[in-house]
Amino acid sequence: MLVGGRRSGLWYHPAPVRRFLIAIDFDGTITQHDTLHLIVDRFGDRSVWDRLTPDVIAGRVSVEEAMQAEFATVRATPDQVLELVRARAGVRAGFVEFIAWARARGHDVRVLSNGFRIVIDDTLTRLGLADLPFDSHDAEFSAVGTRLVWTARGERCALCNRPCKRFDLAAVRGDLPVAYVGDGVSDRCVCGAADVVFARAELADWLRDAGRPFVPFDSFGQVRAHLEQLTKVYPG
Ligand SMILES: [Mg+2]
Ligand SMILES: [Zn+2]
């Protein structure tokens, strides 16, 4: 009897797997700590955000305007920022192995972030994942204050009225089912466009309160274990 692989004939497809687009948030998901918070806490003035929060909630100031006001107080060179992130952000357990596994299975993997290109690029490169595609904004750090550089995310999202990760996702998903992995406010809207959501921290609380299904996770090993079950295709 022939077992596995090519020799066994046309009826047999080795290790069949349902392909997913796996979209992963960066800050607080791939990293253990939110790098924007780390950067503002060390080099800027976090009270700016707190002061503007009522205006943001009332719709008088956009989230993007409040973030720019906050980061204008961040006085640091790019090297100082990267040094801080390398020392303090941390990487969530199992991330590198998860990416290797997902790619070996033929899944499409992509990072969708509201953070900064310079930080994400440095982190992924140090992890040996310089070729992992990502969408994000960027920041021009300097000793006299930081300027945020917003990536075009199309029109404001019809659902959340913000430049939204839904736009990035729609541009890359094709007809693949989507697994989304995230932890925060910027993941809320895009979650609704995913077929399965892995959530931790604030995003998990929000989904629980909204009565929406999600898979809780702390490590990428848990995400992988769940996806392994979900993507299995049983021979008919
Ligand atoms: Mg996050
Ligand atoms: Zn949206």
Task: Kindly give the distance from the C-alpha atom of residue 158 to the centroid of ligand 2, in angstroms, as a whole number.
Answer: 7
- Structural contact between residues 75 and 43, judged by C-beta atoms closer than 8 angstroms: yes
Q: Kindly give the distance from the C-alpha atom of residue 112 to the centroid of ligand 2, in angstroms, as a whole number.
A: 13
CA quadruple 34, 36, 39, 42: dihedral, nearest 10: -70
150: its two tokens:
């917003």
| Distance (Å, whole) CA 207 – CA 59 | 23
130 CB burial (10 A radius; 0-12, 13-18, 19+)? exposed
Domains of the chain: 6-33+91-230 (3.40.50.1000)
pLDDT at 162: 83
CB 27 within 8 A of CB 184: yes
Confidence of residue 232 (pLDDT cuts 50, 70, 90): confident
169 alpha carbon, closest ligand: 2
Asked if 30 contacts 24 with a C-beta cutoff of 8 angstroms, the reply is yes
Percent of the chain past pLDDT 90, that is, above it, reads: 79
Amino acid identity of residue 155, one-letter, is: E
Please report which ligand is nearest the Cα atom of 185.
1
Per-residue pLDDT tens digits for 96-139? 999 999 999 999 999 999 999 999 999 999 999 999 999 999 99
Quote the ligand 2 centre to 203 CA distance (angstroms): 15
